[in-house]
Structure 1
Amino acid sequence: MLKKSKKRLKLIFILLVTVFLTGCWDRIEIEEFAFVSVIGLDEGEDGMLKITFQITNPQIGTSTKVQVDEPPSDIITFLSEDLVASRDLASTSIARRLTFSHAKAFIVSEDLAKSNKFYPIIEATQRDRDIRRELNLIVCKEDAADFIRNNRPPFDIRASKYYEFLTSRWEDVGFVPLSTLHKFSLRTLDDMGLFLVTYATTKPDHPKTHLDSEGDIIAGQLDKIDENPMQMMGSAVFKEGKMIGKLTGDETRLALILRPTVQTNNILATFPDPLKEGEKISAKLVRGKNKIKITITDDYPIIDVKIPLTLSIASIPSNIDYVKNQSNQKLLIAAIEKRLETVTMELIKKTQEEFGAEPFLWSQVARKKFWLYKDFRDYNWSEKYKNAKITVEYDVTIEDFGKQNRPPKI
């Protein structure tokens, strides 16, 4: 009896081991993969898609000291009816199996983003298990194929690392929004407002030399001298899955500041010096928790927003005493608050009249005023927002004036 029990246990053990061993039957060695780091989409001929892949060379940028005389990546462009199925077309020239699992950026041309077929394409690609929803979505002024080929980062050989570092800088600077495929799909399906996508170009056109502030431009308008012509500034505005306009870098920053939750909290900005015309004062902005009060009426919502900002003054080129002189300091605070409120109301007016919806995520606050989500949908928030009565108030506090207690005596 004991021998039979042992035999049964051995048989059960063997059967269990074979179950785990079956997980290796379809294994693929890592050397057999070709990792796509950037995907580009353009409109092709006869309803086709022009698809571009930037494929990372695995031998470049590793910790090994072996010198490899090869390019850091290979860029291929071809026509296809579908992005996911296009991987098989790449086998005509690439021996390895293409994978999107390590892709970092999804580049789309402005022409395609403004067409009605853009959202169905993006929605269909997300069904593929190989495409991550955390992919950064970027709209470029020119063809995506040209953008990918013209972008030549000087310090980052690997394209995947380059876009990874860019993402962390976007969170600090705020000149462009953090836009991923996942957020784009959620905002489009929600259909309660606008979605902002990073705007970029490698073909500068008519640079602006006279700026009201450092972010008063979009990509392509920055006057710079650089071997890499790429510029990322401002945002492409999407409504119902289609691009309908653009915001400058400053307008994008304001849109992020007006949102209920903190999106960017390390902004460096400049403001006109109230006591010396033509001079600017630079400061670091840290936003507190916004107070957003929304009153729902039958005809339109009434929105009151209070934004607490803490400033750390970085430089005062005019050398006017704003540190010890309390009256000057109060004048400076009042001037900054007035400046911010003026440009904010201009942006809100633009969203109401030109775009007909809001990118500030106020719909998330407004829906709490309704018992049922169906009631909120029936209210038609985007349509009512066009006639909304909105007031914005900034509460500015100066935390410090840097390392110097007083302006230098010259």
Structure 2
Amino acid sequence: MKCLQLILVLLLISITQTGCWNRVELTEKGFIMGVAIDQIKPGTIKFSVQLYKPGQMAGGQGGKQDNSFFNIETRSESIFDAVRDITLHLGRRAQFSHMRVIIINEKTAKREDLISLLEFFYRDHEPRLNTKVLISEGDASEFLKIKPLIEQTVTQQLNRMQEIGNVGTGKVPDVNLLELSQALKSQVPNIALPVASKKKDVVILAGMAMIKKGKMIGTLRGKQTENVLMLSDQYKSGVLQIPCEKTSKDAKNSTEAVEIQMVKTKLKPILKMDPLKVKVDVNIAGNIGELKCTKFEKREDQVKFQKKVQKLMEERLKDTIRFTQKEKIDLIGLGNQIYRSNPKLWKKWKKDWDNRYSTAKFEVKVKFDIRNTLSIVGKPLSDK
């Protein structure tokens, strides 16, 4: 009986005690905020990391604020080995659980399969799969040296730019490690990644990189980026600029703006036709942002404006589809949709999908609805 009581007491004590057999103190870690990858030559990787510098947000001597980050560069034949070499510079173990972005040089992205290049980040338990991935114009390591405008580090700034830019402008794809692997392991291994560029020590996201079968093949700019996001049903919100008609008063170089609040796209492939025919239905709804040459004095004026926007968007979307067909890259998810709906047919089409996509006939139909003019005045405010 006493023996049983002793066992119960020991059991209760063991349950109430806390501890970690493999704990690592904070002072033994260096927290990685971002990574830049540049292939110097085949077989050699320059691996640059940005680390958070704790305790440096307060002013230094004379109230001068020190940087809250610093960068370390290692070189090796593999990323795994380059990661271990960070300790030789830092004297601490690299911790990747707070990593925000991975920047890959465009030349490297054109040479290397991205899944193979990033394998360390998928195998290791620390990196989070919601880490953003983007392509850089020029050396990726140079972007880590840019002074952030408002965030504590440029890597955090790039994370927010991709996230908010996708939701608020419709000009930036928002892609993380998980989405990248899912796309490149799908039946049609294509995806678009955001492209970062530098202008006078300021970083901007301009356009997207086309990734085909794991490697970068080119870029999309301006309206093409918005159009691909619309066609792939990834467009959240943004602004459409509508040029004034030349016959309108003061129409020269004038554009009107529509705030897009909703875009819903449906692809309807007609599988029995050869060449393949695809119906694309795009529903757009938004508010009037700026008027320069249009007046909504009658119901007919609104209908005319809606038809104008519909025609303009149909032509823009068709132009972008033709561009992707010329490049033989399905960025709109058509092949994966056919695979899900008819896997038996897809088995026959998969090998020749690039050619079949490039010769497909697309019928684009846009429906545009004005939700609000955001004013009781249905004409340009400059009009008397």
* Length-normalised TM-score, structure 1: 0.83
Q: Does 1:256 align with 2:226?
A: no
Q: Does 1:386 align with 2:336?
A: no
**Bigger mean CA offset, 386-395 vs 83-92:** 83-92
Amino acid aligned to 1:264: Y
Aligned to 2:266: 291
2:227 partner SS: helix
Q: How big is the shift at 1:46?
A: 5.8
Structure 2: segments with no counterpart, 5+ residues: none
Identical amino acids, percent of aligned pairs: 21
* Length-normalised TM-score, structure 2: 0.89
Aligned to 2:9: 10
Change beyond 3 A, Cα 1:256–1:62: farther
Q: How big is the shift at 1:5?
A: 3.2
1:32 and 1:97 in contact (8 A); partners too: yes
Structure 2 Cα separation of the partners of residues 310 and 155 of structure 1: 33
The residue correspondences of 1:144-163 to structure 2 (distance < 5 A) are 144-149=140-145, 151-163=146-158
What do the CA deviations read for 1:278-337 (whole angstroms, capped 9, x no partner)?
A: 32111111235333322113744321011111121111123x42x223333222212111
Structure 2 Cα separation of the partners of residues 103 and 312 of structure 1: 38
2:306 to 308, 326, 333: 333
Count of equivalent residues: 373
Change beyond 3 A, Cα 1:82–1:10: same
Q: How big is the shift at 1:3?
A: 3.0
The residue correspondences of 1:74-113 to structure 2 (distance < 5 A) are 74-113=70-109
2:282 and 2:366 in contact (8 A); partners too: yes
Q: How big is the shift at 1:269?
A: 1.9
Structure 1: segments with no counterpart, 5+ residues: 205-226
Q: How big is the shift at 1:116?
A: 3.4
Aligned to 1:209: none
Amino acid aligned to 1:257: M
* Structure 1 segments of 4+ aligned residues over 6 angstroms from their partners: none
1:154 and 1:228 in contact (8 A); partners too: no
2:235 and 2:263 in contact (8 A); partners too: no
> Which one has a larger percent strand, Structure 1 or Structure 2?
2
Change beyond 3 A, Cα 1:199–1:112: same
Aligned to 1:376: 346
The residue correspondences of 1:148-297 to structure 2 (distance < 5 A) are 148-149=144-145, 151-166=146-161, 167-192=163-188, 194-202=190-198, 204=199, 228-260=201-233, 263-274=234-245, 276=248, 277-278=251-252, 279-297=254-272
1:43 and 1:112 in contact (8 A); partners too: yes
Structure 2 Cα separation of the partners of residues 366 and 232 of structure 1: 32
1:101 and 1:131 in contact (8 A); partners too: yes
Change beyond 3 A, Cα 1:406–1:114: same
What do the CA deviations read for 1:189-231 (whole angstroms, capped 9, x no partner)?
A: 11415200000111x5xxxxxxxxxxxxxxxxxxxxxx64322
**Bigger mean CA offset, 180-189 vs 240-249:** 180-189
2:79 partner SS: coil
Aligned to 1:214: none
Amino acid aligned to 1:330: V
Q: Does 1:345 align with 2:344?
A: no
Amino acid aligned to 1:110: E
Q: Compute the RMSD of aligned alpha carbons.
A: 2.5
Aligned to 2:339: 367
